[in-house]
Structure 1
Amino acid sequence: MSEKNKLSGKTIPKKELVRELTRENPNYAFNEAYDLINSFLERIAEHCYQGDNVSLRNFGTFSPLFTRKKTSMMYLNNRKTPINRNQDFFTIHFKFSKTARRQFTYQISTKKDTTKKKHGRKLKKDK
């Protein structure tokens, strides 16, 4: 992943999200919050697998992404036995909504504006 695409360079596991949820809502037990997040993600996956789009207003859309059979051969761990990948693949594609994209872009740009610039002047363009 390039430096431009990294924001914090940190992966947050599901358990950490559950801990944050239980800290903000002390009336939820850890197991209840974990089951809630799991069932939410499972429902999204089920609907996408059936071919439906799942749209969350002002957040984004989850949609199914099917790739067709691949006829190429692939080698596993530099062994001489080829693995034939003649199967369909299913993944879930996520696209941010315009509202969420604007909100996240605004938050990121305000964080960048607080940093000091190296040079106070603009460079002239060559003609």
Structure 2
Amino acid sequence: MFASTLPAKALTLAACGGLLGCAGGARAPIDPPARTQYLGVDTRLLEGDLVSFMVQVAGDDGQQAAIGYTRCAAAQYALIRGYSFARHVRTSTAQKGGIWEADGVYTISPDLPRGTRTIDAEVVADDCKAQDIPTV
């Protein structure tokens, strides 16, 4: 029985593999995940009911967060203007110096517009608030 002939301290080192990961050893600091930072939205009325939402976002989930941010801005904007719906036309994204920028274009309307990329402004705005995503 090899293990019974070793001193207790040697067994501890063997069990730990001689690494510093056991109790009492130093541990490498773990960086916390980068929190999404919503850096602002610029709303531009393009023509009639066509609106552009230019946003900037920093953090780990930058591109997806930027796209979601335009959606939230569009939903709140529709509600502010007295409309109930928006339809996504297009969103383009780019990263510049660690900051994600998105330009989302939407049409807003009082009635459910045609197409598959429509959003119910009240439902989306409520969801954005629940996720702490700012709106207009």
With the shorter chain as reference, the TM-score category is: under 0.3
Structure with greater contact order relative to length (CA < 8 Å, sep ≥ 6) = 2
Higher strand share: 2
Higher helix share: 1
Flag the structure with larger Rg. 2
For normalisation by structure 1, the TM-score amounts to: 0.23
